[in-house]
Amino acid sequence: MNDIEARDFIRKIIYDDLESGKHDEIVTRFPPEPNGYLHIGHVMAICLDFGVAAETGGRTFLRLDDTNPGKESPEFVQAIKDDVHWLGFDWGDRLTHASDYFDRLHESAITLIEKGVAYVDSLTAEEIREYRGTLTEPGKNSPYRDRSVEENLDLFRRMYEGEFGDGKHVLRAKIDMASPNMNMRDPAIYRIRHIPHQNAGDNWCIYPMYDYAHGLSDAYEGITHSLCTLEFEDHRPLYDWFLDQLEPEHRPRQIEFSRLNLAYTITSKRKLKGLVDEGIVSGWDDPRMPTISGMRRRGYPPAALREFVKRAGVTKKDKLIEMGALETCVRDVLGDTAARRMAVLRPLKVVLTNYPEDQVESMEAMNHPGNPDFGTRELPFSRELWIEQDDFMEEAPRKFFRLKPGGEVRLRFGYIIRCDEVIKDDGGNVVELRCSYDPETRSGTGTSDRKVKGTIHWVSCQHAVDAEVRLYDRLFNEANPNTADDAHSVLNPASLEIVNAKLEPSLADLAEAVQFERLGYFCPDSQDDAAGARVINRIVTLRDSWAKLEKQALQGQAR
């Protein structure tokens, strides 16, 4: 497949526009509202908006669509900028706000009134809803729809000057109350809100509606292609109506694509905010959240998210993508870039009874078995070791090739050991294994040709580093929690498990993602670990244990 055949439908439109001479330069924008943190769905939009412009030598604006001051804050603005930068994109000097254009938008609203296509309505919000009609019944005109231009100009001026309280009046477009498209039934353009604005301060008490401000902001910035998700398809006639009426110097084109929906997550900002407010998660950056900040804190590499979007593709059809597809991208990136280390998550003590009590050996260990450029490190080996509880089974099945009474196993980079005795507490729980080692079987010496089928990892008790390790899993146990009557009912009670782990000494100053051999990929928690505690997050397991279950669930959704 050549490059042209591989283009998605949006890129085909854009490249056709360049080749035809319709545009000399492609200009896009990423326009989030700063009313929450960005999530996995936004990653698609970010990569598309910035990506197509970069590919063609164009430009991208990062525009904060801040037209709703009651829900927006500087915290969300900063989080958006941090997330876009972390993903690898830069807007240069093109950081803008819808509020930067409030004066021009206000002047354009006056122009609409003067043209007789906008009016001040004095119905209450409830009355406006009643007059709007339904999907099967047309709406009816407001009794204030035929106010004169002079009266509308006077009322709008008084709205601007702060004479009226919230909800007393609203400026509406005069289009068609019988339109089959509900968005065209005299939509609101301005409403009164006596609320300070996060960027404009106390300068305004009337604020433009999103549908009005968005298209005109695109025009002011010279946007060539305004890329939106499919829910804005029905808004496109309104987008074009404002441009038709006001005839700006530049006319952008809106194109819609499907949202990126990820299984076992929700992406509604309102619902995500609810999880935060109710304390179900620790915050917007909780590593279980589908927010970009949450995925960053968990340890997902930005390259993995960009690759995930590339594999998902840009289409016009809504789709629910398996969580495993994202985790595969994470594994693919970390598999090449993460050094290997040893850690024991659920420790079980092993005492080598025939090993000298005061002896400590240094074992040479590879930092990456697939890349010798990573070099090696030294691991201390002593008489008392920690191994994983799961690597021992007292009554083991025939094909259990780890440690069992009388059985042998190789310690990675170490010796072959045999389990001679099992020590239990008063409750019958295994608390210690007494083992013997074969001194002729040290790895890398070539002094013995003995072979055993199992190899396990370990950490020297004397040299181990203690750490709190957080094992994260899916936040929901339903593939599409958005379809549940109550999202709380499908929360996964096992989405977080905390264990007190034992780490090899080189992990005392862990600063980046590594693979804990046989266990998964891990990284220091950017918040709690930075505060002085030794806290490590599991990024992803080595294998997708959910694959079969997830495939069945998504097939059920499709049916």
- Active-site residues, by number, are 33, 259, 269
Q: Which pair of tokens denotes residue 39?
A: 């999530």
Burial of 249 (0-12, 13-18, 19+ CB in 10 A): exposed
510-515 contacts: CB < 8 A, separation 24 or more? 510/536, 512/338, 513/299, 513/301, 513/334, 513/337, 513/338, 513/539, 514/338, 514/339, 514/340, 514/341, 515/334, 515/335, 515/338, 515/339, 515/340, 515/341, 515/542
How is residue 201 annotated by DSSP?
A: B
Q: Strand (E) positions, 147-239? A: 170-173, 188-192, 206-208, 225-229
- Distance between CA atoms of 497 and 473, rounded to whole angstroms? 9
Question: Kind and range of the H or E element at 456?
Answer: strand 455-456
* The pairing of beta strand 59-64 with beta strand 95-97: parallel
Q: Of the candidates 36, 550, 10, 8, which has an alpha carbon nearest to the alpha carbon of residue 328?
A: 550
Calculate the dihedral angle through the C-alpha atoms of 444, 445, 450, 451, rounding to the nearest 10 degrees.
0
* Length reported for the chain: 559
Residues 6+ apart with CB under 8 A from 451: none
CA distances (Å), origin 73, targets 70, 79, 204, 233, 379 = 9, 10, 16, 28, 49
534 with 468: CB under 8 angstroms? Answer: yes
Q: Which pair of tokens denotes residue 359?
A: 């002896």
- Distance between CA atoms of 35 and 28, rounded to whole angstroms? 22
Residues 6+ apart with CB under 8 A from 279: none
Alpha helices in 177-322 (DSSP H): 210-220, 236-246, 269-277, 292-298, 302-312
* The pairing of beta strand 225-229 with beta strand 253-257: parallel
Sign of the four-CA dihedral 333, 335, 339, 345 = positive
